[in-house]
Structure 1
Amino acid sequence: MSTQRLRNESYNDYSSTEVSPTESPSNGLDDFPSSSSYQRFGETSGTTWFQTLIHLLKGNIGTGLLGLPLAVKNAGILMGPLSLLVMGIVAVHCMGILVKCARHICQRLRKPFVDYGETVMYGLEASPSSWLRTHSLWGRHIVSFFLIVTQLGFCCVYFVFLADNFKQVVEAANMTTNNCQSNETVVLTPTMDSRLYMLSFLPFLVLLVFVRNLRALSIFSLLANISMMVSLIMIYQHIVQGIPDPRNLPLVANWKTYPLFFGTAIFAFEGIGVVLPLENKMNEPQHFPVILYVGMTIVTLVYISLGCLGYLQFGAAIQASITLNLPNCWLYQSVKLLYSIGIFFTYALQFYVPAEIIIPFFISRVTERWALVVDLSVRVVMVCLTCVLAILIPRLDLVISLVGSVSSSALALIIPPLLEITTYYSEGMSPITIAKDILISVLGFIGFVVGTYQALYELIQPSVSPAFANVTSAFVQ
């Protein structure tokens, strides 16, 4: 995989989700139509509306989905789904803002395509503030920084997820039966600490990220999608059966736990980085807004349904990942393993984005002879870094909430509304639109600050309540 592409002006910010990047189109200005109407690479070789919809769904449904039942618990059985609905509407609106600003910039600058970072950079160049125009390049750097933090945060989550699920499967192996209907108490056989499980996965993930070819990674993506889809079907099949009386569940949870809900929810909704690459790959990009709203409506409904049903089914016993609450029988143990396999292969796809941003910085400073050695060495260091961070923060719920609060809120809620103001302010904006954008950014920033503080507080002084304990000890089926 060539890294020269990353050093030039046409570098595309890839999705901060699980969609694999593909070949970038030519950025020649002669290819861009002179007409004022918007057209972006309407090539016959592009993706169809259905393929784009599938990629959009794949890019927004990952590990964050499995943590939503605990998120609903942290908000309340009434406040949780309502908040997910509102957050989904706002997140989709911000995605639409990004697409609109990118289209406007493409028309104004006669560029065929701009990525997320370039959109922010050119938006700042159109700002009425001379200081922002002078420092517009920092906009691109900020987006790249948050993409790196988000993606490496995902990788940390994967380490914790793999360790927790494999640890539970191994510890329950002696008591695992073929009867998934029994309500017997399962006493797990203690094994090694979850941190040792993380270290056990480290060499295999290092070997996985040595695969630098995108076509090879697409095979892993297919395996991940199949295993995760089968697992989700089995999870839904279980949680809809025999739902207990929900009247004992609080409608609104303690306000102190709501920031943890925010971090987990925005972690799940953080798919804004995928919209511009997907739109650019379409053969009819003018239809992308409809696909965006249809796809994200499906995603929001899946989020709300799994979050509510999972919490209704397991109540106060819900854990950081709903897979940890599944019955101790071979059928659902295989579900945990299947989803874990999907997460394992997805690690390479998530790792690709920060690798493509960071590695060229080091390779550009050595001769061609040492380029491969430096490339592989940096990959090893980055994987080890995610493993160390996961070991330091072994609670899955807090890792998800912290990553969501720190970086996902910035990419999904804070930056897009401010981008709309800087892009269109000099051309005239209604006061209502400006007020709306400021309100979204302020709320996103509040969530960023409060969510980060609460997650760090829980890490420093972990709650004694089992509600927050991400344990894989004995549990009742």
Structure 2
Amino acid sequence: METTRLRNESYNDLSYTTDCPSADSSPSSDNRSRHYQRLEEDPTSSTTWFQTLVHLLKGNIGTGLLGLPLAVKNAGIVLGPISLVFMGIIAVHCMDLLVKCANHFCQRDQRPFVDYGDAVMYSMESAPFQWMRANSIWGRRIVGFFLILTQLGFCCVYFVFLADNIKQVVEAANSTTNDCSFNKTVVRTESMDSRLYMLSFLPFLILLVFITNLRYLTVFSLLANLAMLGSVVMIYIYIGQDIPDPSHLSYVSSWRAYPLFFGTAIFAFEGIGVVLPLENKMKIPHHFPVVLYVGMATVTVLYISMGTLGYLRFGDDIQSSITLNLPNCWLYQSVKLLYSFGIFITFALQFYVAAEIIVPTFTSKVPDRCVLLVDLATRSFLVCVTCALAVLIPRLDLIITLVGSVSSSALALIIPPLLEIFTYYSEGLSRWIIFKDMEITLEMPWNQVWGVC
């Protein structure tokens, strides 16, 4: 799923933390303990368990949710939900590993914070291989690379999502009625190609990302969240009614289709970037594991219900986004428009993450008088790149699978188990833990390659 975190109006890494635990016991105490005090804690900026839970849910629910019915189709009506449960358990476990390892380095080195990239870099410094210790800086660079790839991948998905949904609304405008009964025979008026819709959104999105102070988007972001929440509720109301006989649906899909399920599912579960900042903002940080398990259990139930009900409701006619299957009445056309508005605003938030990593690289090399021009030019170029990629692959399901299989799986499933091995190897790890971590890490690339192919 899509992840965005804002930190003091600047951003260097999606997983940066503003506070971090320090040891509250003697050096002989267990470094893995979650009971710690904060360094330089600002009580006014701390969050309660409920606020943390809300942020965790928001960080894991996005466009990936709407593609899960197609994912279940690619896995089968029985195998799909079971696989979602399994992937949910693995994803939560990897999130927990990241938090545990970050806390370990904070306690060991008395650091005010440790981000995802720093955690990987410090773990490589503790690795048993000399060449890994000598090149530990590449740990941070690899995390940064996948982070940029993921965030710009989200932006590509948004281009296609906006084009597909707005195109459908425009083409069905003449036949849109107040009757919301599903009608497969509705005749749409052909309009321009979806690629032209993407190009038409390009100048507006470029202007949107020129807003470098996200406080100006606060009101619009709130409205976007409300619009997306209302849209999801309306989708659930519709797909929960008049479910046809599921006997004709496949219980288990072919092995050729299953990798497409993996890419879409991991795209939806990719919320690991919000874990460290949320945990380190809590007033009582050792309560975070409970919040994590409750929140991700809720997310998993939401994913399973949306994927299963959506596939049951529309069967083999399910499209890449379930919004494209909604009936052509004004009520559900408004759902598409509201969700599209939410995605339009969210584009700026997701793009902000990548821009704050890339733009300073260019602006730091020019005179002060050229900083603004280079900043805007770089942002425009990045938006054009995401639009060009979306135009080249104008299928929402394929882009979601590609982003999920390549970058999301690396950040959410492959790196965290390796992080645990490198972090605690010198302290002694049981063979079971090493086997478990290697099993997660080595099995994911196979699904990753299949998903890309």
Fold similarity call, TM over 0.5 = yes
Contact 1:64 1:265 in 2 (8 A): yes
Residues of 2 paired with 1:126 and 1:416: CA distance? 15
The 3 A distance-change label for structure 1 pair 263 and 442 is same
SS at match of 1:186: coil
- Counterpart for residue 207 of structure 1: 207
Contact 1:20 1:218 in 2 (8 A): no
- Counterpart for residue 400 of structure 1: 400
Counterparts in 2 of 1:246-257, with a 5 A limit? Answer: 246-257=246-257
- Counterpart for residue 347 of structure 1: 347
User: 1:130, CA displacement in angstroms?
Assistant: 1.2
- Counterpart for residue 146 of structure 1: 146
Contact 1:223 1:345 in 2 (8 A): no
Residues of 2 paired with 1:447 and 1:399: CA distance? 16
Contact 1:267 1:403 in 2 (8 A): yes
Identity, in percent, stands at 68
Residues of 2 paired with 1:26 and 1:292: CA distance? 17
Letter matched to residue 37 of structure 2:
Q
1:188 maps onto 2:188 in alignment: yes
1:333 maps onto 2:319 in alignment: no
User: 1:208, CA displacement in angstroms?
Assistant: 0.6
Q: Which moved more, 1:72-81 or 1:274-283?
A: 274-283
- Counterpart for residue 13 of structure 2: none
* 1:260-289, Cα deviation, whole Å (9 max, x unpaired): 100000000000011001112222222111
- Counterpart for residue 462 of structure 1: none
Residues of 1 paired with 2:276 and 2:317: CA distance? 40
The 3 A distance-change label for structure 1 pair 47 and 22 is farther
- Counterpart for residue 461 of structure 1: none
Counterparts in 2 of 1:91-106, with a 5 A limit? Answer: 91-106=91-106
User: 1:40, CA displacement in angstroms?
Assistant: 3.3
* 1:112-169, Cα deviation, whole Å (9 max, x unpaired): 2101001101111111211111111100000000000000000000000000000000
* 1:391-426, Cα deviation, whole Å (9 max, x unpaired): 000000000000000000100110000000000000
Letter matched to residue 314 of structure 2:
F
- Counterpart for residue 17 of structure 1: 3
Residues of 1 paired with 2:97 and 2:22: CA distance? 22
Q: What are structure 1's unaligned runs of at least 5 residues?
A: 1-14, 454-477
Residues of 1 paired with 2:199 and 2:109: CA distance? 49
User: 1:446, CA displacement in angstroms?
Assistant: 1.3
Residues of 1 paired with 2:317 and 2:48: CA distance? 43
The 3 A distance-change label for structure 1 pair 193 and 420 is same
Residues of 2 paired with 1:203 and 1:165: CA distance? 18
- Counterpart for residue 279 of structure 2: 279
- Counterpart for residue 6 of structure 1: none
1:442 maps onto 2:442 in alignment: yes
The normalised TM-score by structure 1 is 0.89
User: 1:34, CA displacement in angstroms?
Assistant: 5.7
Contact 1:43 1:283 in 2 (8 A): no
Contact 2:22 2:36 in 1 (8 A): no
Letter matched to residue 378 of structure 2:
V
- Counterpart for residue 47 of structure 1: 47
The 3 A distance-change label for structure 1 pair 189 and 126 is same
- Counterpart for residue 11 of structure 1: none
RMSD: 1.8
Q: Which moved more, 1:48-57 or 1:148-157?
A: 48-57
* 1:353-411, Cα deviation, whole Å (9 max, x unpaired): 11011001001101111111111110000001000000000000000000000000100
User: 1:351, CA displacement in angstroms?
Assistant: 0.3
Counterparts in 2 of 1:229-248, with a 5 A limit? Answer: 229-248=229-248
Residues of 1 paired with 2:399 and 2:267: CA distance? 10
The normalised TM-score by structure 2 is 0.94
- Counterpart for residue 290 of structure 2: 290
Contact 2:165 2:324 in 1 (8 A): yes
Residues of 1 paired with 2:9 and 2:341: CA distance? 27
1:322 maps onto 2:322 in alignment: yes
User: 1:336, CA displacement in angstroms?
Assistant: 0.3
Residues of 2 paired with 1:32 and 1:243: CA distance? 53
User: 1:43, CA displacement in angstroms?
Assistant: 3.7
Q: Which moved more, 1:191-200 or 1:276-285?
A: 276-285
- Counterpart for residue 62 of structure 2: 62
Residues of 2 paired with 1:265 and 1:49: CA distance? 27
Letter matched to residue 343 of structure 2:
I
Residues of 2 paired with 1:202 and 1:115: CA distance? 33
User: 1:27, CA displacement in angstroms?
Assistant: 7.9
Letter matched to residue 17 of structure 1:
T
SS at match of 2:212: coil
The 3 A distance-change label for structure 1 pair 340 and 71 is same
1:426 maps onto 2:412 in alignment: no
The 3 A distance-change label for structure 1 pair 35 and 369 is farther
SS at match of 1:349: helix
Residues of 2 paired with 1:364 and 1:21: CA distance? 21
- Counterpart for residue 372 of structure 1: 372
Residues of 2 paired with 1:413 and 1:153: CA distance? 17
Contact 2:2 2:62 in 1 (8 A): no
Q: Which moved more, 1:236-245 or 1:284-293?
A: 284-293
Residues of 1 paired with 2:18 and 2:338: CA distance? 41
- Counterpart for residue 29 of structure 2: none
